[in-house]
Structure 1
Amino acid sequence: MSSCCTAGFQWDGKPVGKETKLANLDTYVSGENKDAAVLIVHDVFGWTLTNVRLLADHYASEAGVTVYVPDFFGGEIVTPDMMENPDETKRLDIGAFMGRHSKDIRGPEIFACAKALKQELGFKKVGAIGFCYGGWAVFRLGAKGKPSCETDRSRSTYKRSADELEGNNLVDCISMAHPSGLEKSEIDNVSVPVQICAPEIDPIFTPELKEHANKVIPELKVEYDYQYFPGLVHGFATRGEVNNPTQKNGLERAKNAAVYWFRQHLSS
């Protein structure tokens, strides 16, 4: 993660969902479909950010799914004021933050939530979408295949934990926008339909990672939708400026792309 992960703008609006629990985590939920669900793995601003809750409401209404946004930061809140206040941003020690919320620490919680959706709540189909911090997580949720999670590519070194191995077949599709922390080996192991919303300017989802995804994923024989957003930057899909026509068009296009993706793969 870098400073671009905390840049952006807050959106106006009043979320219409409610707060509940999922796998013992505080969770925002929107929608009433009992057969299809979407798990959102949030960005650095967490589960309380109005922007992500409004997106959840849109997915629920427009894709006809029930959307869950759990708290994957153990109650820690990064205040939205950091988006537009550089002085506030400097107060966040990103390295320490990532230490508290590393893949090893939060990965099991993310898998527990996906497992709860299918095995406890009984959803027939489940999708997952990750933004920034959540990008790596949805790729791990969508990884199936060899028990060691190694492919025949020598460059792949990622091995899945026991929790993740237990989580096979928990999601039916994934979507992701401007990821942070995503590794090539996690891309190599995806085996469910995958959608990527990629801004042109992104120091974290680099041209090298984009090229890798576009080379490797088609070889994996899964449905693949790569959406490119010229002129836009890391964070646009969750923190774009609604008063800027270019950014507004981009964030709406990303939302519409995800809605279509979920309709296509989660409808009965």
Structure 2
Amino acid sequence: MAPGANEQQLDMTLLAGYRLGHRFRFEQTHYNLQRYLRVSIALISHPRSTHKVEMSCSDCVAGKQYLGSPQGKTEILGGVSCYVGTPTGEYDRTKALILLTDIFGVKFSNNLLLVDDFAKKGYWTIAPDYLHGDPAPPYAFNNPKFNVQAWTQNHTPEATRPPIDKVIQALKDQGVTSLAVTGYCFGGRYAIDLACDQVVDVIVVAHPSQVVVPTTFETFAQKAKAPFLLEMGNEDNEISVPQQEEIDTILGGGKYAPGYKRDCWPGCPHGFAVRGDMLEPQQFAGKEGSFINSIAWLQLYF
């Protein structure tokens, strides 16, 4: 379970007996979550740096890929291709959740299945292709030789932020009045920027990259007004635990009035919330627990 940095402890139980390819149940006091255990592709382990390097670590492209059948569909919003997860039954069309993916984009099965998971919890979820159809290529996955830094230099905010803004404007034109954003890895920094620009009402971020501690979060504290949930692992080589605690000193203890909470999951590296190893108990707990916490945060503030 998450350490004392958590403001609230989750009461979770893993039911014994799940097997590869079988259904599992993951229960928490206030939320029952039933999803399929997804078959994973082998993870190649790489040594982890102990210092912060912006978008150059092996964990930025490492993890498990999940096999599944995405249930959403591709739609064009504001001229931008988006993967959209729509809840079944009635839902509030004035609210939308923007999901900003990691560098593998909207063709990567893990990201699509994550959109579907949010939709199953009742949120109209839109993942814009803000990478212009140019995500990290398939051969980059679990490839420590892939030049993440070079890829990042070709995907600057000047190039990749405009599609996000176009999608948001298109949603507003359709009658959306309340926006939440969740960002993973590369998408985490964009979620933070949207909050700083006061474009969104709620923000959930998991293991962001391209951030500078403390500067990014000092700016956030000054400019943002959205309640902020930060999901981290204690083995993250982008933002170390001491750096996470430094973020807490900036935003925690009521200093950030709209609301702030950080969870730090033991045994979880950078990328765990979207590419975690579902057969490794700590990463399983971190991935599923961070999703449950995200839903709880959205239900509280959105």
TM-score by length of 2: 0.73
Question: Measured at CA, do residues 113 and 208 of structure 1 come closer, stay the same or move farther in structure 2, by a change above 3 Å?
Answer: farther
Q: How does 1:154-193 map to 2 (within 5 A)?
A: 168=198, 170-183=199-212, 184-188=214-218, 189=220, 190-193=224-227
Q: Deviations over 1:183-208 (max 9, x none)?
A: 33332223210000010011112335
Higher helix share: 1
CA distance in structure 1 between the partners assigned to 2:245 and 2:166 by the alignment? 32
Q: What pairs up with 1:90-109 in 2 under 5 angstroms?
A: 90=145, 92-109=146-163
Corresponding residue to 1:135 among 188, 192, 208: 188
Contact map agreement 1:140 1:186 (CA 8 A) in 2? no
Task: Provide the rounded CA distance (Å) in 2 between the counterparts of 1:110 and 1:205.
Answer: 25
Structure-2 residue corresponding to 1:66:
124
Q: Is the aligned partner of 1:198 residue 2:232?
A: yes
Letter in 1 for 2:247: A
Residue 264 of structure 1 aligns with which residue?
300
Please say if residues 136 and 151 of structure 2, whose CA atoms lie closer than 8 Å, have aligned partners that are also in contact: no
Equivalent position of 1:228 in the other structure: 264
- Per-residue CA deviations over 1:125-165 (Å, capped at 9, x if unaligned) read 21101100011111111115xxxxxxxxxxxxxxxxxxxxx
1:211 lines up with 2:245 in the alignment: yes
Q: Which amino acid aligns with 1:53?
A: L
> Within the alignment, does 1:243 sit opposite 2:279 as a pair?
yes
Q: In structure 2, the residue corresponding to 1:16 is in which secondary structure?
A: coil
Q: Which residue identity lines up with residue 65 of structure 2 in the other structure? A: Q
**Partners in 2 of 1:235 and 1:7 — Cα distance?**
8
* Percent identity between the two aligned chains: 28
**Distance in 1 of aligned mates of 2:280 and 2:298:** 27
Deviates more, 1:200-209 or 1:1-10: 200-209
Match of 1:25 among 80, 85, 89: 80
Cα 1:114–1:185 change in 2 (3 A) is farther
In 2, are the aligned partners of 1:59 and 1:67 still within 8 Å (CA)?
Answer: yes
Assess if the C-alpha contact under 8 Å between 1:42 and 1:134 holds in 2: yes
What letter matches 1:78 in structure 2? Answer: A
SS across alignment from 2:105: coil
Larger-Rg structure: 2
Q: Secondary structure at the match of 1:222?
A: coil
Partner SS, residue 116 of structure 1: helix
Match in the other structure for 2:167:
113
Q: How many residues align?
A: 236
RMSD, aligned CA = 1.7
Aligned counterpart for 2:113 among listed residues 33, 38, 54 = 54
Segment of structure 1 superposing worse, 173-182 or 236-245: 236-245
Equivalent AA in structure 2 for residue 175 of structure 1: V
| Structure 1 residue identity aligned to 2:216 | E
Contact 1:199–1:236 (CA under 8 A) maintained in structure 2: yes
Question: 1:81 offset after TM fit, Å?
Answer: 4.8
TM-score, normalization by structure 1: 0.82
Runs of 5+ consecutive residues of structure 1 not aligned to the other structure: 145-167
Q: Residues 20 and 27 of structure 1 are in contact (CA less than 8 Å); yes or no, is this contact kept in structure 2?
A: yes
SS at match of 1:142: helix
